[in-house]
Structure formats: structure tokens, C-alpha cells
């Protein structure tokens, strides 16, 4: 470890410059990927970096609707109808000496910036008080670059790689994970995976699944002066919201998890009506449900959620004969890693070597691509990376550079420890 630390100190400026170069490139999704994304220039930069570092294999891989449709059919994972023009994944492989291989997964896309709210241009990164600011620096370009710089560090320090190291830079994660879905369906594999999402110096070994619902309620529009002749769609929608609130309460009493909060439902959007003087004939509300791994399933959540809504309709004379339209517009499964697995032990050892303390193992209420590598690719998977969840999608997004440097060291140690694990 002393040799790695000494080499890191000598090369810190280089590792920071590489991250700043990537943050300068605008790679945001458009409409959560439905209307496309700007990842191309960022992926081209990443390819040039892999070439500069002497990667043994570099593959560019287009994401296609066919791959997503196949995943939906086989695994109920995927979000159809996205625009993939000028968007592609990049996979870089550094060959090792026959030891256990490891895959690092990160996404190139970011959410769009609300530029008017930022103190400075979000695409002009800068360092202030030990923090780097810039769009995507936390979510998750620092994770992508830390895993890449870990290989750089090992090479700089004169180490041979014990096993193959695969670095995947995917698109469309902010659209529900279609980039990693395409990678998994393409057959990208290793002996273990690290998803480099921000974890705030903790090890994330579980995350919640998620289902986004849209509920469209109809009514009859009339002038508000004779509102008794109409049917107020907003009022009817509120009855259905009350029904799912009751379901959430029942879930809170029923399901527990040692690393995660209870399952929950959030009404995030409600749209209806045209004027205060008109009874609204249409109301749409959109919700997100987060559910627990192992003890709950996607099919169960959908059945119970729609069931609660339709059951409430039976108690209303209008809704009974005019039930709402219920649809799902985004979803992803839950994730949980067996803590007794040797990969967890290898990570713990690597973290302690760097930080001189035991890593805290936690769960995340936020879903990510960890589920795909664990559940579909069947790889032992952990989530660890620089940054905090609070900085994801935040104005003046930033990371502590110490976390970035620590992640480089932890990843480098993990490559050595896991690769030499017989």
C-alpha cells in the first residue's frame, strides 16, 4: 500500500486533470433518454483515454431496441422507446495474468443542468476547498474516472494486473439503466463487479426496486356554477391517492429489511383541470414505488398497487363504471448481495488497507445498475464510489477530492486482492 500511496501523491494532478477533462464534456440525457442523449463526445474522450493507457481491447457497442425488448421479455427489465442515435456503450479491457477478473461499471450520461441556478458554468469544473464542482462529477464521472485511474495507478506503480480488468462506460442510466441492460444482454461478464455509484465511503450491498406508475382518471367537464352536473376528475383522483396511501401504510407494518428503509410510495406529479371555473374532466397523477429485495417482488407490487386502486373504485359510483387507466412507464428490480461471499471479504480487506478502518455496509433507497449485474449477469456485485447521494442531480454538484483519491486506492487494492484470490 505504501508504494501505491507514494505513486498516488506523485500523480494526483494528472488524475484530477483527467476527471476535469471529462466533466467539461456535456453528456446529459434528453427526457430521461426517451428523446436521446449527448454521451457521444464523452464516450469518444473515454476511448482516447483507454488507447492512451494501452487497453488491450476496446469495444464500442450500440444499444438497440431489440436488446431492450429481449431483456423485458426475459427479465422484466428495460425501458422501451428510447432514442439511441449517436449513443453507444464503451467497454475497455486490460488483460491480466490469469487471476480473477473484475468489472467496473459506470454511466456516462448525466441529468440536464438548471444552469441559471448554478454559481458557475456547470461544464467548467473547478476546485475549491478540496472539492471539485461540475455537472456529473458525483453522478458519476468521478466513479468512472476513479476506476480507470486505479488501473493507471497500478501501471504507474509498476504492478502487473493479476486478472483482467474490464471498465464499462454505459449510456442511458438516467433513463432506467438501458445501457447496462444492453451490456449484460451482450454478454459482458467478469468474476465480480463493482458499480461505481457514489456511496459516501460506505459499501452498498442492497438497493430498493422501483416502479413508476401513471394513473389517468376521467370525469365530466361543466361550468363550476353547475358543478353537480359534472364529475370532478381531481376529486376522484384524490380518492385513489388515499387508497395507495393506505396500502403504503400496510407495507410499512409488514415488510422490514436490515439495510434499507421500509417500502414506500410517492405521488410526484398531479395534473388536471384548465380553469377554476371549470369542473376538470381529466386528472393524471404519477407515482414512484420503492420496494424491498427478497421479501417483495415487482409482480407483487404491481398487483397490490393496481388492486388497491381498482378496489377503491368499487366504492364510488362513477369510478366503478369509469375505472382509471393505469400504466407503468419505468421500472427496475431490487438488489441484494450475500455478505458472506468472498468478494465482500476481499473488498473489506482492500478498504481497511486504504482507510485503516472497517467499512460500514449499508443499503441504498435509490435504485441503480447494481441489480442488472447481480440479477441478470449473475455476478457477485457491490456498489462503492466517490461522492454522496445528496449531490446526485444537485445544483452546484461536487465531490470531496479525498473521496476520489481514496476510491482510486481502494479500487487498485481490490484489483490486486481479488485478482490474487485463489
Supply the mean pLDDT for the chain.
96
pLDDT value at residue 101:
98
Longest CA–CA span in the chain (Å) reads 82
**Distance (Å, whole) CA 184 – CA 61:** 12
3-state secondary structure of 268: strand
pLDDT top residue among 84 and 176: 84
pLDDT mean over 229-254: 98
Q: Start-end ranges of CATH 3.40.630.10 in the chain? A: 2-207+335-419
pLDDT mean over 358-385: 96
pLDDT value at residue 73:
95
**Distance (Å, whole) CA 51 – CA 48:** 5
Q: Start-end ranges of CATH 3.30.70.360 in the chain? A: 209-332
Is the Cβ–Cβ distance between 359 and 344 less than 8 Å? no
Identify the DSSP state of 276: T
pLDDT value at residue 422:
72
Identify the DSSP state of 391: G
pLDDT mean over 253-264: 96
Which residues have a Cβ under 8 Å from the Cβ of 54 and sit 6 or more positions away? 94, 155
Distances (CA, A) of 208 to 73, 257, 264, 357: 22, 10, 10, 27
The upper half-sphere exposure of residue 3, i.e. CA atoms within 13 Å in the direction of its Cβ, equals: 9
pLDDT value at residue 366:
86
Helices 401-419 and 2-23 sit at what angle, rounded to 10 degrees? 120
Is the Cβ–Cβ distance between 103 and 166 less than 8 Å? yes
pLDDT digits (tens, 9 = 90+) for 138-187: 999 999 999 999 999 999 999 999 999 999 999 999 988 999 999 999 99
**Residue 349: band (very low, low, confident or very high) from pLDDT cuts 50, 70, 90:** very high
pLDDT mean over 105-115: 96
pLDDT top residue among 125 and 176: 125
**Residue 267: band (very low, low, confident or very high) from pLDDT cuts 50, 70, 90:** very high
pLDDT value at residue 174:
92
294: region left, alpha or beta (phi > 0 left; psi from -120 to 50 alpha) = left
| CATH number of the 2-207+335-419 domain | 3.40.630.10
**Distance (Å, whole) CA 34 – CA 331:** 14
- The burial of 162, by beta-carbon neighbours within 10 Å (0-12 exposed, 13-18 middle, 19 or more buried), is given as buried
What's this model's pTM, rounded to 2 decimal places? 0.91
Distances (CA, A) of 268 to 37, 242, 324, 367: 24, 14, 18, 17
**In the predicted structure, residue 378 carries a pLDDT above the cut 90:** yes
pLDDT value at residue 198:
96
pLDDT digits (tens, 9 = 90+) for 208-226: 999 999 999 999 999 999 9
pLDDT value at residue 241:
98
Reply yes or no: is the peptide bond before residue 175 cis, omega within 30 of 0: no
**Residue 330: band (very low, low, confident or very high) from pLDDT cuts 50, 70, 90:** confident
Identify the DSSP state of 141: I
Q: How many residues does the chain have?
A: 422
pLDDT value at residue 322:
98
Is the Cβ–Cβ distance between 102 and 192 less than 8 Å? yes
**In the predicted structure, residue 386 carries a pLDDT above the cut 80:** yes
**Residue 331: band (very low, low, confident or very high) from pLDDT cuts 50, 70, 90:** confident
- Looking at domain 209-332, its CATH class is alpha beta
Name the percent of the chain lying above pLDDT 70. Answer: 100
- Using CA of residue 86, residue 89, residue 94, residue 95, what is the dihedral sign? negative
Place of cell 441484494: 336
3-state secondary structure of 30: strand
The edge-to-edge listing of strands for the beta sheet with 131-133 is: 126-128, 131-133, 398-400
Amino acid at each position: 500500500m505504501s508504494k501505491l500511496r507514494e505513486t498516488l501523491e506523485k500523480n494526483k494532478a494528472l488524475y484530477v486533470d483527467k476527471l476535469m477533462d471529462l466533466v467539461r464534456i456535456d453528456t446529459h440525457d434528453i427526457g430521461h433518454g426517451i428523446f436521446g442523449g449527448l454521451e457521444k463526445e464523452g464516450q469518444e474522450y473515454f476511448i482516447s483515454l483507454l488507447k492512451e493507457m494501452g487497453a488491450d481491447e476496446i469495444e464500442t457497442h450500440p444499444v438497440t431496441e431489440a436488446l431492450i425488448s429481449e431483456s423485458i421479455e426475459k427479465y422484466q427489465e428495460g425501458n422501451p422507446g428510447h432514442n439511441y442515435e449517436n449513443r453507444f456503450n464503451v467497454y475497455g479491457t486490460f488483460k491480466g495474468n490469469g487471476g480473477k477478473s473484475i468489472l467496473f461499471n459506470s454511466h456516462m450520461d448525466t441529468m440536464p443542468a438548471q444552469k441559471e441556478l448554478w454559481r458557475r458554468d456547470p461544464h467548467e469544473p473547478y476546485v475549491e476547498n478540496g472539492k471539485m464542482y461540475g455537472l456529473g462529477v458525483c453522478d458519476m464521472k468521478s466513479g468512472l474516472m476513479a476506476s480507470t485511474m486505479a488501473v493507471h495507478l497500478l501501471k504507474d506503480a509498476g504492478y502487473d494486473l493479476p486478472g483482467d480488468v474490464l471498465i464499462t462506460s454505459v449510456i442511458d442510466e438516467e433513463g432506467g439503466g438501458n445501457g447496462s441492460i444492453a451490456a449484460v444482454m451482450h454478454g459482458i461478464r467478469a468474476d465480480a463487479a463493482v458499480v461505481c455509484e457514489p456511496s459516501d465511503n460506505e459499501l452498498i450491498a442492497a438497493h430498493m426496486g422501483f416502479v413508476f406508475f401513471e394513473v389517468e382518471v376521467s370525469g365530466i367537464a361543466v361550468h363550476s356554477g353547475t358543478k353537480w352536473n359534472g364529475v370532478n376528475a381531481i376529486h376522484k383522483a384524490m380518492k385513489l391517492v388515499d387508497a395507495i396511501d393506505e396500502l403504503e401504510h400496510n407495507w410499512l407494518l409488514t415488510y422490514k429489511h436490515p439495510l434499507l428503509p421500509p417500502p414506500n410510495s410517492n405521488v410526484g406529479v398531479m395534473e388536471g383541470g384548465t380553469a377554476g371555473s371549470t369542473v376538470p374532466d381529466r386528472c393524471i397523477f404519477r407515482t414512484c414505488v420503492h420496494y424491498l429485495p427478497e421479501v417483495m417482488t415487482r409482480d407483487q407490487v404491481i398487483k397490490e398497487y393496481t388492486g388497491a386502486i381498482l378496489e377503491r373504485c368499487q366504492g364510488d359510483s362513477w369510478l366503478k363504471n369509469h375505472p382509471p387507466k393505469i400504466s407503468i412507464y419505468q421500472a427496475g428490480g431490487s438488489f441484494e448481495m450475500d455478505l458472506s461471499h468472498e468478494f465482500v471479504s476481499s473488498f473489506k480487506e482492500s478498504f481497511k488497507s486504504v482507510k485503516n478502518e472497517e467499512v460500514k455496509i449499508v443499503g441504498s433507497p435509490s435504485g441503480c445498475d447494481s441489480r442488472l449485474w447481480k440479477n441478470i449477469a449473475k455476478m457477485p456485485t457491490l456498489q462503492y464510489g466517490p461522492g454522496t447521494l445528496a449531490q446526485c442531480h444537485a445544483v452546484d454538484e461536487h465531490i470531496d477530492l479525498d473521496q476520489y483519491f481514496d476510491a482510486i486506492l481502494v479500487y487498485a487494492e481490490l484489483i490486486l486482492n481479488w485478482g490474487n484470490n485463489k
